[in-house]
Amino acid sequence: MGAGQIGGSVALAARAAGAVTDVVAWSRTREKLERAVALGIIDRAAPSAAEAARGAALIVLAAPVRSLGPLAAEIAPALAPGALVIDVGSVKAAAIAAVEPKLPPGAFVACHPVAGTERVGPDAASPLLFEGKKCVVCPTAHSSEGAVATIERLWAAMGAEPVRMDAQLHDRVLGAGSHLPHVAAYTLAAALGGLPGDVVEAMRRLPTTSLRDTTRVAASSPAMWRDIFVDNRDQVLPLIEALAEQVAALRAAVSASDGPRIEELLERGRAGRERLVPG
């Protein structure tokens, strides 16, 4: 369900691993589905989510969290006995709450491959997207150990390293390690995007690696990130507040030309970077 970068990459990687034979997809966006067929990513498009799920051994929900609940409800009656269902989204507690109650006990395994780029759509799909990446798998009290182990083997076959983690911890860790960096990149690019044309023209004549790298993920899909911020609001909001505090502190220090205080704040950042991304 879904034929974007992640769903398409699962199809390609699973096929490359010999883990699947017949890949059927459904997407709300008809053009994506047709493009995925044209690119040979999927074997065929189904007319509905239920039809795509019917008889399948594995169903991949590669869709925004808010569509997961309705999708799970729609496919539930069509599920073959023993069928496994996974999602691939960036927020896990909300996904589990939306999907698990709608499906047979133990059928759902919440997954988050920590991969993907700022590119979107089936054209950005690659069989190598998960190669060398981690994939978080979040078992719950209702999980089947057999199902979890099967899904971990699937991710390993697709080149990823499965990492088991509690969904709440996952959401906190990704809020810090992925969602807040996106906040920083988007707000930086927004703050600079309104500069006058002559300044922007001169900036393009003097490209910097700092601007390129620091804003890179601001090229990501605003709709996808809107959903992630809403779905992981409880973890992300305190982090945005911490970021706002650091920006306010540095603004005050620069405004006062307070060299020692500026250096203290920057040193806090340097030490933080060293702690988070050692070496």
> Could you say which residues in the range 235-274 bind a copy of itself, by CB under 8 A?
236-237, 239-248, 250-251, 254-255, 257, 259, 262-263, 265-274
Structure tokens at 27: 């997407």
CB of 32 to a copy of itself, least distance (A): 19
Q: Which of residues 210-229 bind a copy of itself (CB under 8 A)?
A: 210-220, 222-223, 225-227, 229
CA end-to-end distance (rounded Å), the chain: 40
Minimum CB separation of residue 26 from a copy of itself in Å reads 24
Residues in binding contact with a copy of itself, number by CB under 8 A: 93
- Cα(253)–Cα(9) distance, integer angstroms: 46
Compute the least distance from the CB of residue 243 to a copy of itself, in Å. 4
- Quote the least distance from Cβ 255 to a copy of itself, whole Å: 6
- Beta carbon of residue 22, minimum distance to a copy of itself (angstroms, whole number): 32
Sign of CA dihedral 37, 39, 43, 49: negative
Give 79 or 115: the residue with its C-beta nearer to a copy of itself. 115
Angle at which helix 222-231 crosses helix 65-75, to 10 degrees, equals 80
Stretch touching a copy of itself by CB under 8 A, among 35-43, 98-106, 146-154, 203-211: 203-211
User: Minimum CB separation from a copy of itself for residue 128, in Å?
Assistant: 15
CA-based max dimension of the chain: 68
> Torsion over CA of 57, 63, 68 and 72, rounded to 10 degrees?
-30
CA angle 230, 234, 237 (to 5 degrees): 80
- From residue 98, alpha-carbon distances to 31, 144, 147, 190, 223 in Å are 27, 18, 19, 33, 19
Cβ(68)–Cβ(39) under 8 Å? no
Site string for a copy of itself, 54-93 (x = CB under 8 A): ----------------------------------------
Please say which residue, 80 or 237, places its beta carbon nearer to a copy of itself.
237
Q: Looking only at residues 128 through 147 of this chain, which bind a copy of itself when binding is defined by CB under 8 A?
A: 134, 136
Q: Cβ of residue 28: shortest distance to a copy of itself, in angstroms?
A: 17
Nearer to a copy of itself, 150 or 178 (CB): 178
Q: Output phi, psi for 134, to 5 deg.
A: -90, 150
| Residue given tokens 């601001």 in the structure block | 218
Nearer to a copy of itself, 125 or 136 (CB): 136
Which secondary-structure segment (H or E) carries 156?
Answer: helix 145-157
> What residues does 59 pair with on adjacent strands?
85
Tell me which residue has tokens 């409880």: 234
Report the residue number, 76 or 163, with the smaller CB distance to a copy of itself: 163
> Are 33 and 45 contacting, i.e. CB atoms less than 8 angstroms apart?
yes
Smallest distance from a copy of itself to CB 63, Å: 16
Task: Candidates 106, 123, 163, 168: give the one binding a copy of itself (CB under 8 A).
Answer: 163
174 binds a copy of itself (CB under 8 A): yes
Nearest to 84 by CA among 160, 149, 167: 149
Positions 88 through 117 that interact with a copy of itself (CB under 8 A): 114, 117
